[in-house]
Amino acid sequence: MVNEYRENLRRGGCFIKTSKPLKVGRECRIEVRAPGLDEPIELDGVVTWSSAGQASLAPGQSPGMGIEYRLTASARDAVEEALAQLSA
């Protein structure tokens, strides 16, 4: 799990599978909770792709939304530090 979140941070976003995706342009906050963390990791972002309102999806494509992280340098450092604690 930790490696997946690190890779998503490097890429700048993630995909969230959900049957109730938000609309494109909607700002959001993702809370990641994991054993070993006293507080959740909070990631601010904006929806850049959504299956909301689409009549059909491509074969193998899951309903959901693409989130682009909107993190300051200090927020990114704090997330990296929390991930490092999980992998220790």
Query: pLDDT band at 88, cuts 50/70/90?
Result: low
Provide the domain limits for residue 83: 2-87
Give the residue ranges of DSSP H helices in the chain: 2-11, 73-87
- Which domain CATH number covers 49? 2.40.10
Say whether pTM exceeds 0.85: no
3-state secondary structure of 53: coil
| Amino acid of residue 38 | D
CA dihedral sign, ordered 48, 52, 53, 55: positive
Q: How many domains does the chain have?
A: 1
CA separation for the pair 81, 73 (Å, rounded) = 12
| Amino acid of residue 29 | R
CA separation for the pair 41, 2 (Å, rounded) = 12
Report pLDDT digits (tens) over 34-76.
Answer: 777 788 888 899 999 999 888 788 888 888 999 999 988 888 8
